[in-house]
Amino acid sequence: MLYLALEGLAIQQINQILKLFLLTVYLIASTSEIFAEQVTKYKNAVILISSTMTLDREVLTIPINSETQYKNLAIRVNSCFELISPRELVGNIDIERNDPDEVRIYRNFLLYNQNPNLNSDMENSYYEIRLQDCHDKEEIILNEINQ
C-alpha cells in the first residue's frame, strides 16, 4: 500500500514539474519575435467555475490584471491568449483559496479551452475551473472586480 501511495505522489510531482517546464518554455518563447507573431492576446477571460459537491456553476468574465471573488476563491487573471497554430485559448490565473484551516495560493494556474486535461489541478478542491473564452469586448462585466 505504501508503495502505491508513493507512486501516486511521484506521478503528481512529475506532472507539476512538466507543467512548470512547459510554462518556462512558453515564457522564454513568448519573448522571441517569431512566437509573438503566433499569439493573440486578449483583454478578458471568461471562466466557468463548477462545484463538484453542489453542482452549482457560474460563468465569470474577468479582465486581465484584475481579481474577483467566488465563494472562498479569489481569482486573478494574469493573461488570456490564443495560440494561432493549434487554435488553442490559454489562460494564466492565480487562485487564493481560503479554507477554515489554511490559505492556499496557486500561482500560474494554466487553463486550456480545447484540452482541459492539461489544466493545472487544485489539490483537494471541490471546484473545477475551465476557460470558456478570451475576448476584447468592452461590455459591462457584472461580477465584482478588484484592480
Structural domain spans, the chain: 1-37, 38-137+143-147
Categorize the per-residue pLDDT at 126 as very low, low, confident or very high, splitting at 50, 70 and 90.
confident
pLDDT tens readout for residues 85-95: 667 899 999 99
Find, among 147, 146, 140, 134, the residue nearest to 43 by Cα.
Answer: 134
Residues 6-16 pLDDT 10s:
576 767 778 78
Residues shown for the chain: 147
CA distance 54 to 126: 9
Spatial distance between the Cα atoms of 64 and 23, rounded to a whole number of angstroms: 18
pLDDT of 37 over the 80 cut: no
Rounded average pLDDT over 8-35: 67
Q: How confident is the model at residue 131 (pLDDT cuts 50, 70, 90)?
A: very high
pLDDT at 4 over 70: no
